[in-house]
Chains A and B, each alone.
Chain A
Amino acid sequence: MASPLERKIKITGPVVVTANRVADGAVIYRDADGDWTTSLDAAAVATDAARAHALIAEANADDLRAVGAYIAPVELTEAGGRRPGNLRELIRLSGPTIELPVTFGI
């Protein structure tokens, strides 16, 4: 497989760069200051391939903090917020769609 850096980046809508945090695996997003955030609303949004390319290149270079960075679709809300662009990203952001067993039954 080509590395994410070499892969051609095609963008059809707004995207963010997301990964898992090294220390605990938490879902994180690349922000505009070159840091990582757990808030999708604070993520840097790219709307063109050049910006997306720059974000993923920075993210991949940050191996100490992030694992498995990739480009994920987002939707922009009218209020200026973000929504995950697909179900997988929604589940990554908000957790499993099921009740966790601790709260289930006993």
Chain B
Amino acid sequence: MYIYDSIDRTLVAERVAEFRDQVARRLSGELTEDEFKPLRLMNGVYLQLHAYMLRIANPYGTLSSRQLRQLAHVARRYDRGYGHFTTRQNIQFHWIKLEQLPDAMADLAAVGMHGMQTSGNNVRNITTDQWAGVAPDEIEDPRIWAEIIRQHVTLHPEFSFMPRKFKICVGAASHDRAALRIHDLAFRLHRNAGGEAGFEVMVGGGLGRTPYLAQTIRPFLKKCDLLSYVEAVLRTYNQFGRRDNIWKARIKILVHDLGAEAFAKEVEAEWQSIKDGPLALDAATVAEIASRFVYPDYEALEDGPPELAAARRADGRFDRWVNNAVANHKKSGYAIVTLSLKPEGGTPGDATAVQMDALADLADRYSFGEIRIGHEQNLALPHVAQRDLPAVWRALDALGLATPNIGLVSDIISCPGLDYCSLANARSIPIAQEITRRFHDLDRQRDLGRLHINISGCINACGHHHVGHIGILGVEKNGEEFYQITLGGEADDHAVLGTLIGPAVPYAKVADVVEDIAAAYLDLRTGPDELFIDTLKRTGIEPFRERVYAAR
């Protein structure tokens, strides 16, 4: 859990007061939409198809139970009783009225939450591993480093009006759960041959119309140089990035055009001139920030308590859920529990106020008051004692949050698409829902194993379709919804962009195509141990393509 200081609190409160005044002036006609739009965007307020939308940052995907309860309150009081968790560890409310936005923001500010830097050409909400601080495979808590960056870049004048938005991600585990390579700038903490921890620096990732994976421009950066290096990258981007064409303005285009090596050279030259200046991090600064991340007062517990084993033997459903949704924790006797926001037929990432309230209570009782948000649009309870797993499961099951489908075919990432979004070409959510219905048999899902489907309703790629094992992108053809299918994308350590398999298919055929792809995999795999993605790598997309288009 992170404790905000008074500077942050004052800033957030001032912002609410300022926004209240701006809204009043907009409603009275004193401000035109042209004048007001940049102001609302600075606070995360968009206009969607049917209503305004409020996007709220959850730094590092970490939420306290108090904050989650307040989100439930906002959902109930100002929205339609639910919120949508996104791939950027944010939450969005889709039905908020402009007139009520200042009140909603004031309620959020009371728990340190806001929508700043969730829009606009600045450094956006910095993301990390949702298991930060609890994952057994991590070197250090990546949030400390993310927070050091956040404090430096937040509202920094030089970085508030960049050529385009800028997304930073920090990871510190051996397994990448944060999709580092699809970010503008990413840092991976690892150990060099000498055992010293430092960062691999990756730059130029991003999806959208022109997808690129970030390239490594420095394999090892000393921790004390983190801020000066961020500054050097941002300055280089500010200097060379294109401001004349919105589609070419992201740093990925610059890195691609210059080449990663030439870009790195520019950064290094800039960095040499500032690395020993005031941005060099000293141990005291790092320790001060680290001290604001407070860890629970864990009990001394053993792994594998007998009551857990007994409960698993007694109840097959519980046992299957443990296998699917429970992961090892840094601390013995504890576990990380992932909560599926992907029930059959539901909207990926949506949670109701009732669920949020109940989950806040559960977090207080069983997870030291803490909840996490992952980029796959699921939540997690990060510190559950293993002996409490049966009780936690029963409660989650009653709330509809225990579908044991984490990482399986129905654990779909989906953007809001044409049901909400004014930029959409086609719907995403009902496609996801239909796929979950087709694969409702959990045994079949388990047999298919790890399989990631990602869906976006337009080329902006908010649903990460390029990096789904199966990617689905909504396009429009003569006024009809069509979908392009890509195969073989991956977002983790082996990040790769998917390959388009052929002509787009109409709305009504998408779930059939997914079934064909699944069937082709079952025929092609060497055995149940060969994952979908591994079969695909071995055979290439051709046999899958044939299967899909032979039938049509």
Interface set of A (CB-CB < 8 Å, partner B): 20, 22-27, 63-64, 67-68, 86-88, 91-92, 95-98, 100-102, 104-106
Identity of the chain B residue whose Cβ is nearest the Cβ of A105 in the assembled complex: B400
Chain A CB within 8 A of B32 CB: yes
Confirm or deny: B278 has a beta carbon within 8 angstroms of a beta carbon on chain A. Answer: no
Chain B proximity of A2: nearest CB distance (Å): 15
Q: A24-B99, A67-B33 are in contact. List 11 more A-B contacts (CB 8 A).
A: A23-B27, A25-B50, A68-B47, A87-B418, A91-B49, A98-B433, A101-B81, A101-B350, A102-B82, A104-B343, A104-B346
**At the interface, yes or no: B479 with Cβ under 8 Å from chain A?**
yes
| Interface contact B29-A106, CB-CB below 8 Å | no
Rounded to whole angstroms, the CA-CA distance of A55 and B419 in the bound complex is: 27
- Please provide the 9 A-B residue pairs with the shortest distance between their CB atoms, ordered closest to farther: A96-B419, A24-B97, A25-B51, A64-B29, A102-B81, A101-B82, A25-B52, A101-B350, A105-B400
In contact, A102 and B49 (Cβ under 8 angstroms): no
- Residue pair A24, B80 in contact (C-beta under 8 Å): no
A82–B479 Cα distance when bound, in Å, is: 18
Residue contact B99 to A23, C-beta cutoff 8 Å:
yes
CB within 8 Å of A: which residues of B? 26-27, 29, 32-33, 47-52, 80-82, 97-99, 343, 345-347, 350-352, 354-355, 399-400, 418-420, 424, 427, 429-430, 433, 479, 481
Determine whether the beta carbon of A26 is less than 8 Å from that of B82: no
Collect the chain A residues with CB atoms within 8 Å of residue B51's CB.
20, 24-26
Provided the pairs A68-B47, A86-B479 are in contact, do residues A100 and B82 lie with their beta carbons within 8 angstroms? yes
Please determine whether B98 and A98 come into contact, CB atoms closer than 8 angstroms.
Answer: no
Nearest-CB residue, chain A, relative to B352: A101
Least Cβ distance of A98 to chain B in Å? 5
Choice from A25, A95, A98 contacting B429 with Cβ under 8 Å? A98
The complex places the Cα of A98 from the Cα of B429 at a distance, in Å, of 8
Chain B: minimal CB distance from A36 (Å)? 15
Contact flag A91-B419 (CB < 8 Å), given A23-B97, A68-B47, A104-B345 = yes
Contacts of A23 in B (CB 8 A): 27, 97-99
Sample of 18 A–B contacts (CB below 8 Å): A22-B26, A22-B33, A23-B97, A24-B98, A24-B99, A25-B47, A25-B51, A88-B49, A91-B419, A97-B430, A98-B433, A101-B82, A101-B346, A101-B347, A102-B352, A104-B346, A106-B399, A106-B400
Inter-subunit contact A101/B351 (CB<8 Å) = yes
Distance between Cα atoms of A106 and B181 in the complex (Å): 37
A27 touches B49 (CB 8 A): yes
- Asked if A105 and B346 make an inter-chain contact with CB atoms under 8 angstroms apart, the answer reads yes
Whether the pair A91, B418 counts as a contact (CB closer than 8 A) is yes
Is B98 a contact of A97 with CB atoms below 8 Å?
no
The residues of B that contact A20 with a CB separation of less than 8 Å are 47, 50-51
CB-based contact A102/B346 at 8 Å: no
Set of chain B residues within 8 Å of A88, measured between Cβ atoms:
49, 418, 424
Beyond A88-B418, A98-B419, A104-B345, whether A26 also contacts B29 by CB under 8 A is no
Which residue of the partner chain B has the closest CB to A93?
A: B50
Whole-angstrom CA separation of A105 from B97 in the bound complex: 26
Give min CB distance, A67 to chain B, whole Å. 5
Cα A23 to Cα B101 with chains together (Å): 10
Q: Cβ of B52: which chain A residues have Cβ within 8 Å of it?
A: 24-25
Provide the residues of chain A in CB contact with B399, threshold 8 Å.
Answer: 106
List, in ascending order, chain A residues with CB within 8 A of B351's CB: 101
In the complex, the chain A residue whose C-beta lies closest to that of B341 is A101
Chain B residues contacting A25 (CB-CB under 8 Å) are: 47-48, 50-52, 97-98
| B352 cross-chain contacts in A, Cβ below 8 A | 101-102, 106
Q: Flag if A95 contacts B50 (CB, 8 Å).
A: yes
**B91 → chain A closest CB, angstroms:** 13
Which residues from chain A contact B81 at a C-beta distance below 8 Å?
A: 101-102
Residues of A within 8 A of B98 (CB): 22-25
Across the interface, which residues of B come within 8 angstroms of A91, CB to CB? 49-50, 418-419
- Select from chain A the residue with minimum beta-carbon distance to B49: A92
Chain B residue contacts of A64, Cβ below 8 A? 29
Q: Which residue of B lies closest to A90 (CB)?
A: B418
Which chain A positions have C-beta within 8 A of B26?
22
Contact of B433 with A67 in the complex, beta carbons under 8 Å: no
B contact residues around A26 at 8 Å (CB): 50-51
Q: Give complex CA distance A24, B96 in Å.
A: 7
* Assembly CA distance A25 to B26 (angstroms): 13
Task: Output the least CB separation between A21 and chain B (Å).
Answer: 9
Shortest Cβ gap from A102 to chain B (Å): 4
Distance between A62 CB and nearest chain B CB, rounded to angstroms: 10
Chain B residues lying within 8 Å of A95, measured Cβ to Cβ, are 50
| B43 smallest CB distance to A (angstroms) | 15
Q: Which residues of B contact A86 (CB under 8 A)?
A: 479
Inter-chain contact A98/B430, CB cutoff 8 Å: yes
- Please name all residues of chain A whose beta carbon is closer than 8 Å to the beta carbon of B430 when the two chains form the complex: 97-98
Q: Which of B47, B48, B350, B427 contacts A97 (CB 8 A)?
A: B427
**In whole angstroms, how far apart are the Cα atoms of A101 and B416 in the complex?**
13
The smallest beta-carbon distance between A48 and chain B, in angstroms, is 22
The CA-CA distance from A45 to B156 in the complex, in Å, is 49
Tell me, in angstroms, the Cα distance from A22 to B25 when the chains sit together. 12
Min CB distance A106 to B, Å, is 6
Q: How far is the CB of B115 from chain A (nearest CB, A)?
A: 16
Q: Which residues of B contact A92 (CB under 8 A)?
A: 49-50
In angstroms, Cα B403 to Cα A105, docked, is 13
Q: How far is it, in angstroms, between the C-alpha of A106 and the C-alpha of B358 when the chains are bound?
A: 12
The minimal Cβ–Cβ distance linking B68 to chain A, given in whole angstroms, is: 16
Complex Cα spacing A96 to B49, Å: 9
Complex CA–CA separation, A26 to B47 (angstroms): 10
A86 to B229, CA, bound (A): 50
CB distance from B472 to the nearest CB of A (A): 16
Measured CB to CB, the nearest residue on chain B to A24 is: B97
